[in-house]
Amino acid sequence: MEQCELERELEQLHSENWGWALACCGRDRELAEEVLQAAYLRIISGRARFNGDSSLKTWVFGVIRLTARGEVRRRWFWNRRRADSVTVIDFPDPTRGADIAVEESDQRARLIRALNGLSRRQREVLQLVFYHETTIEEAADIMEVSIGSARTHYERGKKALARKLGSAET
Amino acid sequence: MSELKGDDLRGRFSTLRQQDRRHEPQFGEVLNRAKLRNRDEAGSAPTLRWIAVAASIVIAAGVVINKARDRDDERPVETGVPGVPAITSWQSPTAGLLQTPSRALLAPPPLLSSVFDGVTQTALQSIAD
């Protein structure tokens, strides 16, 4: 694929990419922006190559996911080292970067809180299916798990999320 | 406990998507920053590569020099006269005879007597006589 064509395709997918980057970064906007930039860098520099085995969206989502995981791990190590040096215990905030109390709706905050209560795999598959409207097969491809495993995560995650949201509203 | 249906979940995610889009960074900006980063990395990559090459050459040279020095230390010193060893490496032909079996001298006498003790002693006495 030509560089210009690739950039055009990326532009069309940008909103989706942004939503996926947010989901992969625990909804931390600053981190998500950095991850998106790093993922685009990998793509335009040719470090990540699209070989046409899947759809471009699936492939780009896979690149974003891997970049986010690397970045989150790097930050975790960095924060731990810094915390060790000043002996400050920094507990991670699950809703970090979301600013839910100030600017976002209550419903959104509840959904994010409920999603944070799920396992990573369940969160990922639900985000892909409900937010990005992918099929479970595509989600499995992006998450690099088998279809059966993705389906299990989806079923369990959906039930758990519905339960959490239902109980939060009663 | 009430549970939510799939459609309701879809609706909630849809709201979340709309709200996320409000904070979406411009594609052009993100791409330009990525391109700038790519250029910076491409600029610094050859320098780092040269530093790595130079460092490995220095390390390899150090290893070779060290090994050569070790080999020189092991080699006997030459006197300049063919067939004659240097005084530092010369050994007396009878040096082996002067070596005392220290282990045998320092070993304690046997606690249990041997049946041959009397035999060897009388034999030695008769030789002395």
Chain B residues inside the 8 Å CB shell of A29: 23
What is the Cα–Cα distance from A34 to A21, expressed in whole angstroms?
9
Inform me whether the C-beta atom of residue B19 falls under 8 Å from chain A C-beta atoms. yes
Measured between beta carbons, the chain B residues lying within 8 angstroms of A15 are: 21, 24
Q: Is A106 on the interface with B (CB under 8 A)?
A: no
Q: Best residue in B7, B17, B32 to probe A by mutation, most A CBs within 10 Å?
A: B17
Decide if B18 touches A, using CB distance below 8 A.
Answer: no
Residue of A nearest to B2 (CA): A166
Enclosing H/E stretch for A117: none
End-to-end CA separation in angstroms for chain A: 52
Tell me the pLDDT of chain B (129 aa) as tens digits: 445 666 788 888 998 999 899 889 999 999 998 888 878 777 666 677 888 899 999 999 999 998 888 776 666 666 667 777 677 777 777 877 776 666 666 777 766 666 666 555 555 566 666
- Residue range A109-146, pLDDT digits in tens: 889 999 999 999 999 999 999 999 999 999 999 999 99
Q: A136 and A150 in contact (C-beta within 8 Å)?
A: yes
Q: Residue A95: how many CB atoms within 10 A of its CB?
A: 17
Spatial contact of A23 and B17, defined as CB atoms under 8 Å apart: no
Q: What pLDDT, on the 0 to 100 scale, is given for residue A161? A: 92
A11 touches chain B (CB under 8 A): yes
> Is the Cβ of B21 closer than 8 Å to some Cβ of chain A?
yes
Is the alpha carbon torsion for A157, A161, A167, B1 positive or negative? negative
Best residue in B12, B16, B22 for a mutation probing chain A (most A CBs within 10 Å): B16
The per-residue pLDDT for B87 is 74
How far is C-alpha B114 from the geometric centre of its chain's CA atoms?
53
**B59 touching chain A per CB within 8 A:** no
Chain A, 29 to 68: residues with Cβ < 8 Å from chain B are 29, 33, 36-38, 40-41, 44-45
Residue B36 contacts A where some CB pair is shorter than 8 Å? no
The reported pTM is 0.63
Which of the residues in chain A have pLDDT under 50? 87-92, 100-101, 103
B29 in contact with A, Cβ within 8 Å: no
Query: Is there a contact between A44 and B6 if contact means CB atoms under 8 Å apart?
Result: no
Counting Cβ atoms within 10 Å, is residue A22 exposed (0-12), middle (13-18) or buried (19+)? buried
Q: Cβ of B15 under 8 Å from any chain A Cβ?
A: yes
**pLDDT value of residue B124:** 55
Report which of A144, A170, A168, A120 is spatially closest to residue A59, judged by C-alpha positions: A144
B4 interaction partners in chain A (CB closer than 8 Å): 161-162, 165-166
Distance of residue A59 Cα from the nearest chain B Cα, in angstroms: 18
